[in-house]
Structure 1
Amino acid sequence: MLQDYLELVDWSGRCLRDDKRGAIESGLPPILERLQIDPQHWLYLNRNFESRFKSLVGTTHSVRSACERLGKRWVQGIRDCERYLSPPIP
């Protein structure tokens, strides 16, 4: 169901005129592919988001940068950010 929804949102964005807010260029790959998120990881996170993350969420790099700016030493869920939301290192 979630995958269907994401495909619908992606399809809708591709149907909008290029000069409209929210338009997605027709040549771009699907959204999860662009974000380098495994669809199975996305489904898991969608079902378990609140239990996995308590504050900051994003790529490991962006969460660590935010922690530095905020003066936080750690954030609950950083390992899950790395596992599920950070692009693989080539």
Structure 2
Amino acid sequence: MKENNFKNKTTVQLLSYLMMIKTITGALIFIIILLLSVTIYGMATREGNGTSVALFVVGISCSATLPLQFMNMSKIKAELKLRKKN
């Protein structure tokens, strides 16, 4: 597995990577919320619709990637903070 070594990257690269992660995470949160709200509405209004249940499971499983994104953001912020001290 590839190790995320942020010490070998420049500050500009880290800032651009942080901005990219923030943008992707924000879009992912928006899409997950939209998917979950549509599927909950579908489960509440229709009887016996297996598609809504399946999409609900997909939305929940996609939200499992969010903690990894937040951990990467915190690692980058810590590295940038360390560089500002020095």
TM over 0.5: no
Q: Highest relative contact order (Cα 8 Å, sep 6+), 1 or 2?
A: 2
Rg larger in 1 or in 2?
A: 2
